[in-house]
Amino acid sequence: MRKNIRSRLFITASVLAFGAMSSVGAFEALPQQPPIPKDNPMSPAKVELGKQLFFDPRLSSNGTLSCNSCHDVSGSGTDNRAVSLGVGAKAGGRNAPTVWNAAFMTAQFWDGRAATLEAQAKGPILNAIEMTMPDEQAVIDRLSSIPGYKEQFAKVFGGPNSLTYDNLAKAIAAYERTLITPNSPFDRYIKGDKKALSAAALRGMKEVQAIGCTGCHNGVNFAGPALPMGEGFYQKFPTFTDNDYVKKYKLDEDVGRSMVTKNDADQHMFRVPTWRNVALTAPYFHNGSVKTLHEAVRVMAKTQLDKDLAGQQVDDIVEFLNSLTGEFPKQTLPRLPGTPNMSVINE
Amino acid sequence: MRKNIRSRLFITASVLAFGAMSSVGAFEALPQQPPIPKDNPMSPAKVELGKQLFFDPRLSSNGTLSCNSCHDVSGSGTDNRAVSLGVGAKAGGRNAPTVWNAAFMTAQFWDGRAATLEAQAKGPILNAIEMTMPDEQAVIDRLSSIPGYKEQFAKVFGGPNSLTYDNLAKAIAAYERTLITPNSPFDRYIKGDKKALSAAALRGMKEVQAIGCTGCHNGVNFAGPALPMGEGFYQKFPTFTDNDYVKKYKLDEDVGRSMVTKNDADQHMFRVPTWRNVALTAPYFHNGSVKTLHEAVRVMAKTQLDKDLAGQQVDDIVEFLNSLTGEFPKQTLPRLPGTPNMSVINE
């Protein structure tokens, strides 16, 4: 309860004072390293194990979907669909958020129902319309039947009883903390390369401050201020509902965070999504209803700030948002441990 | 017609004469390079383009499936399912063959309906229960809307009209020709490392010759002799039908190659599958009905050679087959070219 009041107060204050705020650092370059929780230190072996798990379709009941299926790290860290399809092609309720730079988010899922990457990783595997494993024990049983995983869990976490659901989540989260896209044109600009941004992007950069977008989209990930981990930064969406967009894109059908908190004050509250790599993560919004970034900019200006933007403003803002596409690190494809002479998928 | 007669004559002759044949080279190490067709020379840029296409789910109608979904190069080059699930979770009719070392096969698909990797690559994308793109033009239209692909096709194949379905298939095939797993324990043994195989594997190696398995499972890929490209090497499966396995595993329901040739003589003829990495590609046979390699060995001995194997024979043969698991080359994960500000998937 306190959390949301604090978030809303912050927004109000920051929108009023954004001019001053931006000049003292509304814009920040992306760090090379995200926050690392004390109870899940990084190690190369843990990251490698987590990468294997992230890519392994055996974490889904019928062996068809891995984390990477909907959060494709070959691309935008999403599936570029309105909503993802789970086992049996069942449609999920919300658009898949990008896994790139998720390590900088202060809460996970659109409704912030997971405070950490570790907590998030546990969700889709057991979700009844996503990877549909029946329960934690079924996941552990399956992984325990894969010798290469048993060995790696023992090595990484120590001890004979190291293959646990908690440790599975820790390994995946450790891998996800390596999925950082630094050195976007914006970051290079912020660090002093004044030629890194085009004239249009620079105009867009001023617009997003002048209009008020950066009241929420600030911080290293343009997803709100760096609150203590797990708190999350939320905003009501849509805020202004008396416009055609809300009906056209069904923006008010999902009550968002209140489904988690059971608090009416959280109705239609959503985690503020990142702007980083947003040019690559279409379609947009929690329901994936808006197909282009240009339209998403128009919708946001109207529903959140009650402003109608001119075409040039939209173009310039889109140009600025494109400057937030970072450098995606080269990765090796993991080798998934095999199960000689048998399959662990029973269909 | 001539082809199949030749294959069957060859089998008969080789089974009768396998003793002499094995001593003159029934066993061959896997070459580091597969055959390269003259009309599709390899280049690093072509292989990189092909890898991107192989991993790109935008080659499926709803953006959920890539070639890699069912031929997972993180693992066995299969999906370790009885049959694969296409768009909308529709079940295919046959078990997905491995893409690893497919470049050494003299025909593609279980029924050999594609003579080359290029011809094979064109199939699943348009198949009505696999990736379900409506037609070639729809694939080309979609790829043409992705700037990074337009550029790469022009660079790799030359000219403004280089983004064609033929060239798409050529790029994918070029990538697949890099998917070779050399240096298995067996290969090291053949090349002179007499300690590379266990005593059990050596016993199994003798068994597969003595029993007659290598009458068909010979050549560099243990999938038949190196006939001219496109000819294919087929065998009737099941050959002996008066046993419980045929009914239990429904082995005679699929008429195989005759569906392609419309020739009754090809009823139940199937391409002889590779033994390489067979320990990792469970479940087994064209319908994926047999869950373990031990059972697959028993079934093959009975249905193809009318022999009942002792437990020790089965164990030894499985041990030998495990010695055919090769070294999987490290690969970088491709970066899929984006479509800034929009998605090409319309759902």
* pLDDT tens per residue across span A235-273: 999 999 999 999 999 999 999 999 999 999 999 999 999
Q: Which tokens in the block code for residue A39?
A: 């109870």
Contacts of B341 in chain A (CB under 8 A): 279, 282, 292-294, 318, 322
Phi, psi of B86 (to 5 degrees): -90, -165
Share of chain B above pLDDT 70, in %: 91
Residue A3 in this model has a pLDDT that exceeds 80? no
Pair type for strands B234-236 and B269-271: antiparallel
- Give pLDDT, residue A228: 63
- Give pLDDT, residue B9: 39
Chain B nearest-CA residue for A52: B74
Cβ–Cβ under 8 Å, residues B72 and A52:
no
* Inter-chain touch A328–B342, beta carbons under 8 Å: no
Nearest CB among B63, B75, B81 relative to A80 is that of: B63
- Give pLDDT, residue B228: 62
Distance (Å) from the alpha carbon of A89 to chain B's nearest alpha carbon: 5
B66 vs A56: CA distance, rounded Å: 15
Task: Name the pLDDT band for A14 (thresholds 50, 70, 90).
Answer: very low
Coil, strand, or helix at residue B209?
A: helix
Cβ–Cβ under 8 Å, residues B291 and B283:
yes
Task: Name the pLDDT band for A225 (thresholds 50, 70, 90).
Answer: confident
- Give pLDDT, residue A26: 66
Cβ–Cβ under 8 Å, residues A206 and A220:
no
Residue B12 in this model has a pLDDT that exceeds 60? no
State the catalytic residues of A.
Answer: 130
The residue-averaged pLDDT of B51-73 equals: 98
Burial of B244 (0-12, 13-18, 19+ CB in 10 A): exposed
Task: Name the pLDDT band for A127 (thresholds 50, 70, 90).
Answer: very high
Chain B nearest-CA residue for A90: B88
A134 vs A61: CA distance, rounded Å: 8
Residues 82-121 of B with CB under 8 A from A: 82, 85, 87-89
Kindly report the CA angle at A320 between A318 and A325, in degrees rounded to 5? 95
Distance from CA of residue A182 to its chain's centroid? 16
Residue B43, H or E segment: none
Q: Which tokens in the block code for residue A294?
A: 């240009």
Q: What DSSP designation does A347 have?
A: -
A175 half-sphere exposure, CB direction, 13 A CA radius: 25
B134 vs B142: CA distance, rounded Å: 11
* Inter-chain touch B280–A81, beta carbons under 8 Å: no
Residue A112 in this model has a pLDDT that exceeds 80? yes
Task: Name the pLDDT band for A299 (thresholds 50, 70, 90).
Answer: very high
- Give pLDDT, residue B159: 81
* Inter-chain touch A333–B328, beta carbons under 8 Å: no
The residue-averaged pLDDT of B63-87 equals: 98
Q: Which tokens in the block code for residue B101?
A: 């070392």
Q: Which of A218-232, B22-36, B41-55, B314-328 has the lowest mean pLDDT?
A: B22-36
Share of chain B above pLDDT 90, in %: 88
Nearest CB among B76, B333, B343 relative to A283 is that of: B343
Share of chain A above pLDDT 70, in %: 91
Residue A219, H or E segment: none
Q: Which tokens in the block code for residue B295?
A: 């059972």
Distance (Å) from the alpha carbon of B88 to chain A's nearest alpha carbon: 5
Residue A23 in this model has a pLDDT that exceeds 80? no
B333: Cβ contacts below 8 Å, ≥ 6 apart: A73, A74, A330, A331, A332, A333, B55
Residue B28 in this model has a pLDDT that exceeds 70? yes
Residue B186 in this model has a pLDDT that exceeds 90? yes
Nearest CB among B87, B293, B345 relative to A80 is that of: B345
The residue-averaged pLDDT of B280-309 equals: 98
B308 vs A293: CA distance, rounded Å: 66
Q: Where are the beta strands (DSSP E) in A123-180?
A: none
Cβ–Cβ under 8 Å, residues A224 and A334:
no
Average pLDDT, chain A: 92
* Inter-chain touch B88–A87, beta carbons under 8 Å: no
The residue-averaged pLDDT of B3-29 equals: 44
- Give pLDDT, residue A159: 81
The verdict on A129 touching B (C-beta cutoff 8 Å) is no
Distance (Å) from the alpha carbon of A91 to chain B's nearest alpha carbon: 10
Burial of A38 (0-12, 13-18, 19+ CB in 10 A): exposed
The residue-averaged pLDDT of B311-325 equals: 98
The residue-averaged pLDDT of B135-150 equals: 98
State the catalytic residues of B.
Answer: 130
Phi, psi of B91 (to 5 degrees): -85, 130
Contacts of B50 in chain A (CB under 8 A): none
A218: Cβ contacts below 8 Å, ≥ 6 apart: A14, A21, A22, A26, A27, A224, A225
| Domains defined along chain A, listed by start | 2-30+182-322 (1.10.760.10), 44-176 (1.10.760.10)
Nearest CB among B82, B88, B340 relative to A279 is that of: B340
Nearest CB among A58, A330, A343 relative to B332 is that of: A330
The verdict on A279 touching B (C-beta cutoff 8 Å) is yes
Burial of A8 (0-12, 13-18, 19+ CB in 10 A): middle
* Inter-chain touch A341–B347, beta carbons under 8 Å: no
Nearest CB among A282, A322, A333 relative to B331 is that of: A333
Per-residue burial over B198-210, b if 16 or more Cβ lie within 10 Å, else e, is eebbbbbbebbbe
Question: Token pair 């990008």 is at which residue?
Answer: A98
The torsion defined by the Cα of A182, A189, A98 and A177, in degrees rounded to 10, comes to 30
Q: Which of A314, A341, A344, A346 to mutate to test the interface with B (most CBs of B within 10 A)?
A: A341
Residue B16 in this model has a pLDDT that exceeds 80? no
For A319-338, the three-class secondary structure string (H helix, E strand, C coil) is HHHHCCCCCCCCCECCCCCC
Residue of A280, A316, A318, A324 lying closest to A202 (CA atoms)? A316
Residue B15 in this model has a pLDDT that exceeds 70? no
Cβ–Cβ under 8 Å, residues A334 and A66:
no
Average pLDDT, chain B: 92
This prediction has a pTM of 0.93
Distances A211 to A207, A219, A311 between C-alpha atoms, Å: 6, 17, 14
A225: Cβ contacts below 8 Å, ≥ 6 apart: A10, A218, A219, A233
Distance from CA of residue A94 to its chain's centroid? 12
Per-residue burial over B90-123, b if 16 or more Cβ lie within 10 Å, else e, is eebebbbbbbbbbbbbbbbbbbbbbbbbbbbbbe
- Give pLDDT, residue B13: 36
A301: Cβ contacts below 8 Å, ≥ 6 apart: A211, A213, A307, A308, A309
Pair type for strands A269-271 and B234-236: unpaired
Residues 207-266 of B with CB under 8 A from A: none
- Give pLDDT, residue B40: 98
* Inter-chain touch B280–A340, beta carbons under 8 Å: yes
Contacts of B98 in chain A (CB under 8 A): none
The residue-averaged pLDDT of B265-287 equals: 97
Cβ–Cβ under 8 Å, residues A98 and A281:
yes
Coil, strand, or helix at residue A77?
A: coil
Kindly report the CA angle at A281 between A275 and A287, in degrees rounded to 5? 95
Instruction: Provide the residue type at B258 as one letter.
Output: S
- Highest-pLDDT range among A9-18, B227-236, B272-281: B272-281
Distance (Å) from the alpha carbon of B140 to chain A's nearest alpha carbon: 19
Q: Which of B184-193, B225-234, B279-288 has the lowest mean pLDDT?
A: B225-234
DSSP string for residues in B62-124: TS---HHHHS-TTTTSS-SSSS-B-GGG-B-SSPPPP-TTGGG-SSBSTT--BSSHHHHHHHH
- Asked if residue A57 has a cis previous peptide bond (ω within 30° of 0), the answer is no
The verdict on A144 touching B (C-beta cutoff 8 Å) is no
Residue B227 in this model has a pLDDT that exceeds 90? no
Q: What DSSP designation does A271 have?
A: E
Task: Name the pLDDT band for A307 (thresholds 50, 70, 90).
Answer: very high
Instruction: Provide the residue type at B116 as one letter.
Output: T
The verdict on A328 touching B (C-beta cutoff 8 Å) is yes
The residue-averaged pLDDT of A53-80 equals: 98
